[in-house]
Copies of this chain bind each other. A is one copy, B any other.
């Protein structure tokens, strides 16, 4: 039989449900996903509903949402008509998906909204000032986005190495620093 909720696993699921809800993700959907991530085997919707004590329909909607985020894979087990769901086995894979989806849904629209507003000629000193701030926001967001895009290119192996190197990331940034100060622009 599939995964059981020991107190330890339960605690983890509750925590991530809570965290999810602080980041705009429905608490029960967060719990469902935590369960999937912690489970060594794919789970059926029924099993999720039973384990977490949610209605079957709630689980159905939650899974639909997780699919729209591309966070779960759907698979059929041979000789079983039920559908089974699983999360990627690689945490970094999950994080990358989250970042990517969040960009598509929130960052990109924000950037294009800002660009749209910045097309207008300022009609007052207030608007002129406001546009200044909008430009700054736009540029900052765009830069941070570029940055994370680069980081997302790293595969898990590469990341693993970085992980082991620990915070010598500092050194990397020092290098960048040095390079920056000599670059002429």
- In the complex, A166→B12 CA distance in Å? 40
Contacts A91-B133, A147-B169, A175-B175 given: A110-B19 contact, CB under 8 Å?
yes
Please determine whether B127 and A6 come into contact, CB atoms closer than 8 angstroms: yes
Quick check: which of A62-70, A78-86, A136-144 contacts chain B, the rest being far away?
Answer: A136-144
- Among A8, A22, A39, the one with the most B-chain Cβ atoms within 10 Å of its Cβ is A8
Copies of the polypeptide in the assembly: 2
Q: In the complex, which range does the number of interface residues on chain A fall in?
A: 35 or more
Contacts A9-B127, A110-B15, A133-B37 given: A185-B164 contact, CB under 8 Å?
yes
Please determine whether A22 and B19 come into contact, CB atoms closer than 8 angstroms: no
- In the complex, A147→B117 CA distance in Å? 33
* Chain B minimum-CB-distance residue to A154: B173
Interface hits, A4-40 → B, CB 8 Å:
4, 6, 8-9, 11-12, 15, 19, 21-24, 37-40
Contacts A95-B140, A124-B6 given: A134-B12 contact, CB under 8 Å?
yes
Please determine whether A129 and B38 come into contact, CB atoms closer than 8 angstroms: yes
- In the complex, A136→B92 CA distance in Å? 9
Question: Inside 8 A of A162's CB, which chain B residues have their CB?
Answer: 143, 180
Contacts A9-B127, A91-B137 given: A175-B183 contact, CB under 8 Å?
no
A residues engaging B (CB < 8 A)? 3-4, 6, 8-9, 11-12, 15, 19, 21-24, 37-40, 91-92, 95, 105-106, 110, 113-114, 117, 120, 123-127, 129-131, 133-134, 136-137, 139-140, 143-144, 146-147, 150-151, 153, 158-159, 161-167, 169-170, 172-173, 175-177, 179-180, 183, 185
